[in-house]
Amino acid sequence: MSIQSSPPTQSNINFKQKNTFVQTLKSDTVVRALSLVFVLTVWEIYGRSVNPILFTYPTAVARAFVELISNGELFKYGAQSIQVLIYGMFAGCVVGIPMGVLTARYRVFDKATDMYVNALYATPMVALVPLLVLWFGFGVQAKVIVIFLFTLFPLLINTYQGVKNVDTKLLEVSRSFCSSERQLWFDVILPSALPYILAGVRLSLGRGLVGMVIADFYTSISGLGYMVVVYANTFQTAKLFVPIVTLMILGIFGMEFTKWLERKLAPWNDIRKED
C-alpha cells in the first residue's frame, strides 16, 4: 500500500514565501542596513536645507572624501595618526598587562603601586597634555605618551580583575596535581584572565583614539586631529566631516578586530557565555 503526498497548494507556497521574507527583514544585517539608509536619507534632506557653513550632507562629505583621497591628504595624515596610535597602544599593553598581573598576584607589588595608580587614574588625562607637550615637544614622542596614558588604565584594571577572578577551584585542582608556579600561570591563570585582558584592549582602543585626537589638537601639526582643526577654522564643513568619519571607521574596525581576536584566542569564553 503506497501513500501519496498531496502537492503543496498555492496558499502554502505564498505563506512560506511570506515567512521567509519576514525572517529576512528581521535579520541583523538587514535591520542595520535599513537603519543606515534611513539615517543617511534624513541627514541628506536636512543637511541640504541648512547653511553649508554650519552643517553638511552625506553626498557633500562623499565628494570631500574623494578629493582628500585623490590629493593624498587623507592618507598622509591618517597614516600619521595610525602610527602614533599603534605605538601608544603597544606601550600601554607592554606596561599595563604585566603591571595588572603583578598587582593582582603579589600583595607587596599591589601595595607599593596602589597609591600612584589611584592618583593618576583620578587625574583627568586632558589636564596632563599641555604639560607633556611642554616636556616632550610637538613631535611623535609627546603624542605616543599621551596615548599611552589614555590606554594604560583600562588594560591594567581589566588584567587585574581577570587575574583576581580566576576560579579558586581551578587553582586548587591544579595544585592538587602538583603543578608548578609556571604551570599555574600558563595553564590556569592566564587562560582564565585572557577574556578580561582582551576586553581591556578593546576599551583602551577607544580611549586611545580620544587621546590621539586630543594630542593632535594641542600640537596641531599632523594627524587627523590637525585636519579637524584646520577645516573647522576655515569653515570647510564637508571636509571637516572626513577626519571625523575616518575616526569612526577606525574605531569600528578596531572594535571588530578585537572581538575577532577574542574569539580566536579565547574561544572558551563564547562557550561560557552560551551556558
By CB atoms closer than 10 A (0-12, 13-18, 19+), residue 132 is buried
Determine whether domain 72-272 maps to CATH 3.40.50.1820: no
Distance CA 158, CA 258 (A): 15
Residue 43 in contact with residue 57, Cβ under 8 Å?
Answer: yes
Distance CA 178, CA 38 (A): 61
**pLDDT score at 10:** 52
Distance CA 196, CA 159 (A): 6
- Residue with the bigger pLDDT between 38 and 6: it is 38
Q: Is the pLDDT of residue 250 over 60?
A: yes
Look at the alpha carbons of 213, 219, 220, 222 in this order and tell me if their dihedral is positive or negative.
negative
Whose cell is 521574507? That residue is 21
Question: Which alpha helices (H) appear in 106-139, and where do they start and end?
Answer: 107-122, 125-136
Distance CA 233, CA 229 (A): 6
Closest CA to 156 of 118, 187, 185, 129: 118
Whose cell is 557565555? That residue is 273
**pLDDT score at 193:** 83
Would you state the cell numbers that stand for residue 209, as one nine-digit string?
A: 583614539
Residue 2: band (very low, low, confident or very high) from pLDDT cuts 50, 70, 90: very low
Distance CA 255, CA 76 (A): 23
Specify the pTM. 0.78
Kindly report, residue by residue over 143-179, the tens digit of the pLDDT. 899 999 999 999 999 998 888 887 777 666 676 666 6
Distance CA 68, CA 61 (A): 10
Element (H, E) at 211: helix 190-219
Kindly report, residue by residue over 24-72, the tens digit of the pLDDT. 555 677 888 888 889 889 988 888 888 888 888 889 899 999 999 999 8
What amino acid occupies position 19?
A: N
Domain layout of the chain by residue ranges? 72-272
Kindly report, residue by residue over 253-272, the tens digit of the pLDDT. 888 888 888 888 877 665 45
Q: What are phi and psi of 51, to 5 degrees?
A: -55, 125
What amino acid occupies position 14?
A: N
Q: 102 in helix, strand or coil?
A: helix
Residue 15: band (very low, low, confident or very high) from pLDDT cuts 50, 70, 90: very low
